[in-house]
Amino acid sequence: MPAVTLPDGSQRRFDRPVTVDEVAGDIGAGLRKAALAGRVNGKLVDTSFVIEGDANVAIVTDKDPAGLEIIRHSTAHLLAQAVKQLFPEAQVTIGPVIEDGFFYDFAFKRPFTTEDLAAIEARMTELAKADAKVTRRVMGRDEAVAFFESLGEHYKAQIIASIPAGEQISLYGQGDWVDLCRGPHVPSTGKLKAFKLTKVAGAYWRGDSRNEMLQRIYGTAWPDKKQLEEYLHRLEEAEKRDHRRMGRELDFFHLQEEAPGAVFWHPKGWSVFQALIGYMRERQRAAGYEEVSAPELMDISLWQESGHREKFGENMFLTETPDHRIYAIKPMNCPGHVQIFKHGLRSYRELPVRLAEFGKVHRYEPSGALHGLMRVRAFTQDDGHAFVTEDQITEESVAITRLILDIYRDFGFEDVRIKFADRPPKRVGSDEVWDRAEEALKVACGAAGIDYTLNPGEGAFYGPKLEFVLRDAIGRDWQCGTLQVDFNMPGRLGAYYIDEHSQKRVPVMLHRAMFGSLERFFAILLEHHAGRLPAWLAPVQAVVMSITDRQDEYVRSITESLKNQGVRVVSDLRNEKVGFKIREHTLQRVPYLLVAGDKEVAAHLLSVRTRSGKDLGTMTPEAFFERLRIELSSRGRRTLED
Is 568 an active-site residue?
no
Residues forming a β-bridge with 220: 196
User: Which of the residues 385, 492, 585, 611 is marked catalytic?
Assistant: 385
User: Which of the residues 465, 492, 568, 589 is marked catalytic?
Assistant: 465
Cβ neighbors of 200 (< 8 A, separation 6 or more) are 111, 112, 117, 215, 216, 217, 218
The three-state secondary structure class of 223 is: coil
Would you list the DSSP string of 484-548? EEESSHHHHTT--EE-TTS-EEPPEEEEEEEEEEHHHHHHHHHHHTTT---TTT-S--EEEEESS
User: Which of the residues 383, 422, 486, 572 is marked catalytic?
Assistant: 383
Give whole-number Cα distances, 403 to 467, 482, 483, in Å.
14, 12, 11
* Spatial separation of the C-alpha atoms in residues 30 and 165, rounded to whole Å: 43
Is 480 an active-site residue?
no
* Spatial separation of the C-alpha atoms in residues 95 and 78, rounded to whole Å: 10
User: Which of the residues 363, 505, 529, 585 is marked catalytic?
Assistant: 363
Is 349 an active-site residue?
no
Cβ–Cβ under 8 Å, residues 74 and 101: no
User: Which of the residues 39, 185, 511, 585 is marked catalytic?
Assistant: 511
The three-state secondary structure class of 28 is: coil
Angle between helices 141-150 and 154-161 (to 10 degrees): 170
Long-range contacts for 113-119 (Cβ within 8 Å, ≥24 apart)?
116/86, 116/87, 117/197, 117/200, 117/217, 119/86
* Spatial separation of the C-alpha atoms in residues 112 and 108, rounded to whole Å: 8
Angle between helices 267-286 and 393-410 (to 10 degrees): 140
Is 199 an active-site residue?
no
User: Which of the residues 181, 334, 445, 480 is marked catalytic?
Assistant: 334
618 burial via Cβ count (<10 Å: 0-12, 13-18, 19+): middle
* Spatial separation of the C-alpha atoms in residues 546 and 549, rounded to whole Å: 7
Is 381 an active-site residue?
yes
H helix and E strand count, the chain: 20, 35
The residues that are catalytic are: 334, 363, 381, 383, 385, 465, 511
